[in-house]
Structure 1
Amino acid sequence: MSKKILLLSTGGTIASAPTEHGLAPAADGRELLSRIAPSVQQYQLESEDVLNLDSSNIQPEEWQVIARRVYQRHLGYDGIVITHGTDTMAYTASALSFMLPQIPIPVVFTGSQLPLADPLSDAWENLRDAFAMAASGQPGIFLCFNRKVSLGCRAVKVRTTGFDAFESVNCPYAAKVDSRGLRINPSVVRPAAGLCQLKDQLDCRVILIKLTPGFNPDIFDMLLGMDYRGIVIEAFGIGGLHFIHRDLVSKLQKVTEAGISVVVCSQCLYEASDFSVYETGKRILEKGVIQGRDMTSVAAVTKLIWALGQTQDPAQVRAFFETDLAGEITLD
């Protein structure tokens, strides 16, 4: 019996057409399906339009819209494919990884670097592969692009124009497509272990800061006055922050004592941060910051937005970050 798959469209390049102001979303889900249908006849396909936006305009409020639609519809399908613009696709996929724990079916994000209507578009390949992953029976939130499937919480956009736009960072790919077909990596894909829940409360009072030499710590006083509840910092290397000339460590102590959750990751895309190695890192651990370990900045930001939506208790937020919820972090 053929698998029943739902296509949820949200706009993005894959659905775009030229306008006098540049590319803008135009095609709806039905048109996307009508174009791709001849090459995916082995599935029972249906479509729904959720949004029609350039993904730069998809923010936490839109994550909630998408997550709620997936939750409402997931029991009637073997899998769901979500077409989405590439610019923030990794953020949305990561956010849904936390908002829809124990989702029992594959939910696969995909898109393209060229519109589907372009004769050279990568959309055809990405959609075919995404439908194959959606029909695989492997539960979870995934991002499919350029014949590779990442966990939603490990994907990062690393190229602006290349068709190999996404990588799975610090985690093997969940699946790849080659001459042997769709090959699942069972060490990455985890089985659902309970009933799916919708945990869609979010708190977007979170900011990401990338440290540079000479960074002025007084900016944290401004953030205190702006009612931010969470801060993600991309530190140097394995976990360095300066405290000579400009004492960032003391300022972070003030921030954490005010009840703000601070997560510190590395600016390096690959491998884990470890703040136990150098004096600079040990100093901030003593001030109550949370180690991001090998999480991507995308996952750290989305997880913190989600965690603060569940609780305002810094101890509970820390507990969330010390737990691997969706494959987003490697714990010792």
Structure 2
Amino acid sequence: MAEKRLLLLTTGGTIASEASDSGLVPRESGQSLVQRLEKLPYDIDVKDILQLDSSNIQPEEWQLIATEIYDNMDKYDGIVLSHGTDTMSYTASMLSFMIQNVKVPVVLTGSQVPINVVLSDAPDNLRLAFVAAATCEPAIYLAFDRKVMLGCRTVKVRTINFDAFESVNLPPIATVTSDGLVFNKTISLPKRNKKCQLKTNLETQVSLVKLFPGFDPNLLFAMVDAGCKGIVIEAYGLGGMNYIRRNLVAAIGKLIDQGIPVITSSQCLYERSDLTRYEVGRLALLEGAISAHDMTSESAITKLMWGLGQGMDVHQIARLFETDLVGEVTLE
């Protein structure tokens, strides 16, 4: 059997960083990353497209990365994207929406420690990413610490430990055991029933707000006055929010009437939001609040940016959030 042809796209991040007087700075090339691994049973090409700490990865970089992936899909059996960990889940979610029905596995990975450190987690993560890119079904994934996860379900939950990412409300697609890469056969990815298209238009004027006791709803109107086109609110528990004194519920209704979509998710990392359960949620639902269900905040905000970028109005955004595009949400 012919070797799988894989492409490594590099963007910088801790995995490629070296010590400097100002701290860790991404400097290592993709070729250097590959050379630090023992020989892999794949034909690997390398392309360095960025050299950034992931804190500096923004919508313009997402568009560049998505275009590189799209332009190279037909040339390779799989693509690995090395990336800093801090915003990797945002990138994985956005790529999932920008390149729906992707033709090959695209696997993001990085590390908590630079690859040039003796006890770095980078070699294992990079090897796992190459194996996943060669064996998984086409989709956008994140490979880290012996787990392969659907990209749009991932969240970074630790700053130092090697087990930095978790797959929220969906088990990992595959895990590494003594038997190799073992796939979870209970998980069914969305069917690829349409042609792959690159859709990179985004609306960047959005906001993600974490609700806290005493939050002043007038701040939402100030955001809109400053140009904000959509808001994701991390509400309490199943989606509850205050309406006594500081009437956030009424504010949401006014924003919806102005054509500003307001998405409500939960501050709880696991399980879903459900605006139908309590009065504080039902009132928001009646005002037009849009539920994120069990989506991560990273996935909700990128989906909102992408939907608005496609020219969707508030009603179309509401329908979008009732649609599972790439496995990002569980709808009951």
Secondary structure of 1:219's aligned partner: helix
Percentage identity across paired residues of the two chains: 52
Matches within 5 A, 1:12-23: 12-23=13-24
Gaps of 5+ in 1: none
* Correspondence for 1:81: 80
How far apart are 1:190 and its partner, in Å?
Answer: 4.0
Secondary structure of 2:129's aligned partner: helix
How far apart are 1:254 and its partner, in Å?
Answer: 1.0
Counterpart Cα distance in 1 of 2:221 and 2:32: 50
**Residues 57-81 of structure 1: CA distance to partner in whole angstroms, max 9, x if unpaired?**
0011110000000000111000000
AA aligned opposite 1:72:
D
Secondary structure of 1:276's aligned partner: coil
Counterpart Cα distance in 1 of 2:188 and 2:84: 25
Secondary structure of 2:15's aligned partner: helix
* Correspondence for 1:144: 143
Contact 2:189 2:326 in 1 (8 A): no
Counterpart Cα distance in 1 of 2:154 and 2:70: 22
* Correspondence for 2:10: 9
Secondary structure of 2:36's aligned partner: helix
Counterpart Cα distance in 2 of 1:307 and 1:184: 32
Matches within 5 A, 1:85-96: 85-96=84-95
Counterpart Cα distance in 2 of 1:232 and 1:278: 20
Contact 2:12 2:26 in 1 (8 A): yes
Counterpart Cα distance in 1 of 2:308 and 2:177: 40
Secondary structure of 1:317's aligned partner: helix
Contact 1:174 1:188 in 2 (8 A): no
Secondary structure of 2:224's aligned partner: helix
Counterpart Cα distance in 1 of 2:295 and 2:183: 22
Secondary structure of 1:327's aligned partner: coil
* Correspondence for 1:214: 214
Secondary structure of 2:303's aligned partner: helix
**Residues 152-197 of structure 1: CA distance to partner in whole angstroms, max 9, x if unpaired?**
1000000000000000000111111111111122424344223211
**Residues 74-93 of structure 1: CA distance to partner in whole angstroms, max 9, x if unpaired?**
11000000000000000000
Counterpart Cα distance in 1 of 2:279 and 2:266: 16
* Correspondence for 1:272: 272
AA aligned opposite 1:274:
D
Say how many residue pairs are matched: 330
* Correspondence for 2:260: 260
Secondary structure of 2:166's aligned partner: strand
Contact 1:203 1:306 in 2 (8 A): yes
**Residues 236-289 of structure 1: CA distance to partner in whole angstroms, max 9, x if unpaired?**
011110011211111111111111111000000000010101111000101111
How far apart are 1:318 and its partner, in Å?
Answer: 1.3
Counterpart Cα distance in 1 of 2:45 and 2:93: 24
* Correspondence for 1:62: 61
Contact 1:10 1:52 in 2 (8 A): yes
* Correspondence for 2:108: 109
* Correspondence for 1:325: 325
Q: Which runs of 4+ in 1 moved over 3 A?
A: 188-191
Taking a change above 3 Å as real, the CA distance of residues 137 and 268 of structure 1, as seen in their structure-2 partners, is closer
Gaps of 5+ in 2: none
AA aligned opposite 2:19:
P
How far apart are 1:137 and its partner, in Å?
Answer: 4.4
How far apart are 1:316 and its partner, in Å?
Answer: 1.2
Counterpart Cα distance in 2 of 1:49 and 1:166: 24
AA aligned opposite 2:280:
T
Matches within 5 A, 1:1-332: 1-36=2-37, 38-40=38-40, 42-186=41-185, 187-332=187-332
